[in-house]
Structure 1
């Protein structure tokens, strides 16, 4: 009988649920509570969010990252609008055109420098989009922090892009599926990377950092927030037993679990990167700034490495692999994988 390769470094979606989250879910399961977010657990979770993002931030919890991105963009766009994003952005490449299907807007991918949108690329795209008779109205800049290439915008880079976007009449959306990892790496509060940097609406992830299934749209504009209750319901993301979404975030923010999890995942990625960089024939292809490591390998190494751990073949043409660490990745598992990978070179 053959066994499947382990999912050790496949994705932070492949990890389990943090025990503290499971305990909180069990706790809120002990009694009945009002549905649809009118319960005390939801109120407390919203307060926990506001402690990190601002007292007037509006919070709308949902179950999936794609729904989170779609609803966040739907709050600020119409079908006539264009959304500019990196050409490797998750919402551009990996969401099956969900924003375009649900909203009717057009996604425009901008050439990315190590996953990051540059002001020059945005300026060129805006200049091309100016024909009001034939092209979608320029409306939103969407940024990922961290990026799909595991890189980070500095605070100065974020502020420069949001200033440019606002000067051109755009709203700014942040896909923060790994925002916790970015905050941990940059040593910055969540508010500094979002509201204070000029972001208008955030897709805040939790599933990749130890939650079971919980994401949240965070809106910093009262007028936009007023649209969200109806949009969430129409988008089929208003959970009836909403307290089970809220419970996950209560555990997440308690004692900074979100930060501890992210720091650990980042440390494991740094350890993996250092070990892989020392293997002859393996070349790191992007800076390791959060919990993702990218490496180019000889083509005949791809299959053996994927037998050691399932991992994403990021760019087949150059045999570039993506490895992702999680809150529950151990030093021993990193070292065992690196030792086995090193044997390929020997």
Structure 2
């Protein structure tokens, strides 16, 4: 059977990390703590109420949800200037990013990012026939902002994608550098957006600010977030972004009709109403992360500075062998990042103890 598949998709395999039943699943940066019972009860009640009218389409523009998200950002990042028309929501931050590429990318257009970074970025570009260009990060995974500004002027992309904290390195982007990117992008003829992907923002060290604080001064700044990580809602699939109302209007052009189900909206709004309950373990995850980084360094590994709920460590002569050795011992981590490096998500204290003992056995 011959399918009329796009030639650029021939031979490719779908994106996805292993989903295995093991003692310690530390490969996809999930929150290791299940939602507390008070949140489960609230979501259950809200979903049951929503089910009464499942014969009707959901709120197409999710105005109530977007209002709640703006209120959350006002508290979490002191962004009290945001309103519902500054916020967009979709099925995970993946769909949010895809909407951005659908609205602003396309044939003959370019997006710029900085490698190593999130492995889905080139796939968003591929799926929208947008050219994906990368600039290498420094050896410590920080950005060379002067080189980035020069690349923006030369390449003239329609978007600059920069994750902060960066995945898979955990590197945070200083506000001064985010502002410099916005200034450089503003000089591109026809306009250029700077998309700061803050999927792991709630895990950053105290005092590390969000790029949201720059939004009043930079019209071309977009900040993307997710409820999958700190909210322990990966199964709920809710991502969102903050931007100018003009950007939000553009995204509404490309979104599918009724793209957020009534169930998704009810779940997300209930979770937002209980965000303090859901994020009660964030401090514990931060502490476990810092302990893990310190322990890995004490064993002689190099570990990237991280403001996320994971750590990139190495180097290994044969990282696949180390990965497989850990898996044999019930610990699943991720083969990602530069050659020779591995990434471990931060789990519970018990899971991280298992990771440490297993790693010592594998490298002995």
TM-score category of the 2 structures, normalised to the smaller one: 0.7 to 0.9
Is residue 323 from structure 1 mapped to residue 340 from structure 2 by the alignment? no
Instruction: Give runs of aligned pairs for residues 61-100 of structure 1, distance below 5 A.
Output: 61-90=89-118, 93-94=119-120, 97-100=123-126
Structure 2 residues without counterparts, runs of 5 or longer: 1-19
Structure 2 CA distance for partners of 1:219 and 1:47, relative to 1, 3 Å: closer
Shift in Å at residue 274 of structure 1? Answer: 1.8
- For 1:343 and 1:30, locate their aligned partners in 2 and report how far apart those are by CA, in whole Å: 49
2:306 to 241, 265, 288: 288
Residue 156 of structure 1 is matched in structure 2 by: 176
Is residue 25 from structure 1 mapped to residue 43 from structure 2 by the alignment? yes
* TM-score scaled by length of structure 1: 0.79
Tell me, yes or no, if the aligned pair for 2:227 and 2:237 is still in contact at 8 Å.
yes
1:220 to 231, 243, 266: 243
2:160 to 116, 119, 141: 141
Which stretch shows the higher mean deviation, 51-60 or 81-90? 51-60
Shift in Å at residue 109 of structure 1? Answer: 1.0
Structure 2 CA distance for partners of 1:188 and 1:259, relative to 1, 3 Å: farther
Tell me, yes or no, if the aligned pair for 1:277 and 1:283 is still in contact at 8 Å.
yes
Q: How many residues end up aligned between the 2 structures?
A: 323
Structure 2 CA distance for partners of 1:229 and 1:302, relative to 1, 3 Å: closer
SS of match in other structure, 1:138: coil
Shift in Å at residue 197 of structure 1? Answer: 7.2
- For 1:147 and 1:40, locate their aligned partners in 2 and report how far apart those are by CA, in whole Å: 30
1:55 to 82, 93, 107: 82
Structure 2 CA distance for partners of 1:40 and 1:165, relative to 1, 3 Å: closer
1:244 to 248, 253, 264: 264
- For 1:293 and 1:24, locate their aligned partners in 2 and report how far apart those are by CA, in whole Å: 33
SS of match in other structure, 1:97: helix
SS of match in other structure, 1:83: strand
SS of match in other structure, 1:312: coil
- For 1:301 and 1:307, locate their aligned partners in 2 and report how far apart those are by CA, in whole Å: 10
Q: Deviations over 1:44-88 (max 9, x none)?
A: 524534634433353222113321111133344453321111133
Is residue 12 from structure 1 mapped to residue 16 from structure 2 by the alignment? no
Is residue 110 from structure 1 mapped to residue 135 from structure 2 by the alignment? yes
Tell me, yes or no, if the aligned pair for 2:65 and 2:269 is still in contact at 8 Å.
no
SS of match in other structure, 2:148: helix
- For 2:181 and 2:363, locate their aligned partners in 1 and report how far apart those are by CA, in whole Å: 43
Residue 133 of structure 1 is matched in structure 2 by: none
2:151 to 108, 118, 125: 125
2:336 to 308, 314, 321: 314
Shift in Å at residue 162 of structure 1? Answer: 1.9
Residue 294 of structure 2 is matched in structure 1 by: 274
SS of match in other structure, 1:223: helix
- For 2:278 and 2:186, locate their aligned partners in 1 and report how far apart those are by CA, in whole Å: 30
Tell me, yes or no, if the aligned pair for 2:135 and 2:148 is still in contact at 8 Å.
yes
Tell me, yes or no, if the aligned pair for 2:116 and 2:137 is still in contact at 8 Å.
yes
Shift in Å at residue 178 of structure 1? Answer: 1.5
Tell me, yes or no, if the aligned pair for 2:165 and 2:198 is still in contact at 8 Å.
yes
- For 2:123 and 2:317, locate their aligned partners in 1 and report how far apart those are by CA, in whole Å: 33
Residue 5 of structure 2 is matched in structure 1 by: none
* TM-score scaled by length of structure 2: 0.75
